């Protein structure tokens, strides 16, 4: 049972290893939504995510014999680091099975805590099945990332800290993958104040909990597809499902494009790196049809590799018309390139890439293609540049930006 007493015990235990993640007020998102928005920055934890809470508390409840057998788990990264770090604290062996799609930074950091890492399967569920096989073969003690009441209790300590710091909180937004965090946070929040609304947030391409709640039973998705790798789960946990059923007030789903926009917002307005799964609750803010409420978005993690980060930034800039590409037809004669560049410069556009194709037509005097990739301040500025090019007599069309 998830009880207040167990949550209090877990809170005392996890405070031996966690960072104090005080709420961060967001002036930007408060103005955007008409509410008072706060972030619970679990991306600032020692292992870069909230998962250390559940892993450490779970291991504390094991017998010495269970710990000495060695620990094994499956994870897309954050639970892996939590178990690896906790195992190191207890001086026991940890074996982590991670999907082959796990970002390199999560793999390397897990290894840095002394764990043995095995890459297996394309999604979490395949990695988990392999970890269970190894547990049977080698006698390891399995630490489930979400379908475990002790793990969920450890994660739920986040709700205690939120309510202690903001007693009159109206809404708590919590990311959902398998459901451990959602079960812990929502259960404790309701135990402490039944009037608090707890909203789960899932990727639209991996909404296993939403589908399960609709079907009123644990349901496995045929496949998942999302850039939020930490929540790319096909089947929610059956042990924690009843707690989510009882205590989650609603579920919001967001698409990958919304996560990309949220990443840019967090970097530019809060100078904060949050991984895609942690951005779910940020992207969900605009879906809440409420005003003048105190809202806490849980930022579940910040473990994002640089390559993924670069890709998300580029896509975000393109998505917001701050980078765009046009194809312009012009005669192949001296001075035309300068003339085009001058038109753009006069509108304060910044050219970052040119692709000049002289062979688009057999009649080079009639048409040469020039693809121009440039920076703008946004959609209005982009339209201003396009209008100036058209006024200068250039035929053009938009093409997909390729950096």
Q: How confident is the model at residue 359 (pLDDT cuts 50, 70, 90)?
A: low
Per-residue pLDDT at 392 exceeds 80: yes
Domain range 52-142, CATH architecture: 3-Layer(aba) Sandwich (3.40)
pLDDT digits 0-9 by tens, 133-176: 999 999 999 999 999 999 999 999 999 999 999 999 999 999 99
Is 300 labeled as catalytic in the residue annotation? yes
State the CB neighbour count (10 A cutoff) for residue 138.
11
Asked if residue 401 lies in contact with residue 313, where contact means CB atoms within 8 angstroms, the answer is: no
Q: How confident is the model at residue 88 (pLDDT cuts 50, 70, 90)?
A: very high
> Any idea where the domains of the chain sit in the sequence?
4-50+148-316, 52-142, 321-399
Domain 4-50+148-316 has CATH 3.30.1360.120: no
pTM of this prediction exceeds 0.85: yes
Q: Which residue in 40, 51, 106, 382 is the catalytic one?
A: 51
Residue 308: predicted pLDDT: 83
Per-residue pLDDT at 39 exceeds 60: yes
Residue 266: predicted pLDDT: 96
Same CATH fold, 321-399 and 52-142? no
In 238-352, where does DSSP find H-type helix?
241-247, 256-270, 280-283, 306-319, 336-346
Asked if residue 43 lies in contact with residue 274, where contact means CB atoms within 8 angstroms, the answer is: yes
In 91-179, where does DSSP find H-type helix?
104-112, 124-138, 149-165
Q: Which residue in 186, 212, 297, 300 is the catalytic one?
A: 300
Q: What's the full length of the chain, in residues?
A: 403
Per-residue pLDDT at 361 exceeds 70: no
What's the rounded Cα separation, in Å, for the pair 157 and 165? 13
Is 197 labeled as catalytic in the residue annotation? no
Residue 330: predicted pLDDT: 82
Residue 363: predicted pLDDT: 59
Domain 321-399 has CATH 3.40.50.1100: no
Burial 21-55 (b: 16+ CB within 10 A, else e): beebebeebbeebebbbbbbbbbbbebbbbbbbbb
Q: How confident is the model at residue 362 (pLDDT cuts 50, 70, 90)?
A: low
């Amino acid at each position: 049972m998830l009880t207040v007493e167990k949550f209090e015990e877990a809170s005392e235990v996890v405070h031996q290893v966690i960072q104090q993640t005080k709420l961060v007020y967001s002036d930007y998102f408060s103005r955007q939504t008409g509410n008072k928005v706060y972030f619970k920055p679990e991306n600032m934890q020692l292992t870069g995510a909230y998962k250390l809470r559940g892993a450490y508390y779970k291991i504390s409840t094991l017998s010495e014999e269970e710990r000495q057998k060695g620990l094994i788990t499956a994870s897309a990264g954050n639970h892996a680091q939590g178990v690896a770090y906790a195992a190191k604290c207890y001086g026991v062996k940890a074996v982590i099975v991670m999907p082959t799609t796990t970002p390199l930074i999560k793999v390397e950091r897990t290894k840095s805590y002394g764990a043995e890492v095995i890459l297996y399967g394309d999604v979490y569920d395949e990695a988990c099945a392999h970890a269970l096989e190894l547990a049977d073969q080698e006698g390891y003690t399995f630490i489930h990332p979400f379908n475990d009441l002790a793990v969920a209790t450890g994660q739920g300590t986040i709700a205690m800290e939120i309510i202690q710091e903001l007693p009159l909180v109206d809404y708590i937004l919590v990311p959902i993958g398998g459901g451990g965090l959602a079960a812990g946070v929502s259960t404790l929040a309701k135990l402490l104040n039944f009037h608090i609304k707890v909203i789960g947030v899932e990727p639209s391409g991996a909404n296993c909990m939403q589908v399960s709640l609709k079907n009123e039973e644990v349901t496995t998705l045929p496949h998942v597809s999302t850039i939020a790798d930490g929540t790319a789960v096909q089947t929610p946990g059956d042990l924690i499902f009843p707690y989510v059923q009882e205590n989650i007030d609603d579920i919001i789903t967001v698409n990958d494009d919304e996560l990309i926009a949220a990443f840019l917002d967090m970097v530019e307005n809060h100078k904060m790196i949050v991984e895609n799964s942690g951005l779910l609750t940020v992207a969900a803010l605009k879906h809440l049809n409420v005003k003048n409420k105190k809202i806490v978005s849980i930022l579940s993690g910040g473990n994002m590799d640089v390559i993924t980060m670069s890709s998300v930034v580029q896509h975000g800039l393109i998505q917001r018309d701050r980078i765009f590409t046009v194809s312009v037809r012009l005669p192949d004669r001296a001075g035309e390139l300068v003339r085009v560049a001058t038109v753009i410069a006069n509108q304060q556009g910044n050219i970052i890439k040119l692709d000049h194709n002289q062979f688009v037509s057999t009649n080079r005097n009639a048409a040469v293609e020039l693809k121009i990739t440039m920076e703008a301040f946004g959609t209005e500025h982009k339209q201003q540049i396009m209008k100036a090019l058209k006024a200068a007599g250039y035929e053009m069309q938009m093409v997909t930006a390729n950096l």
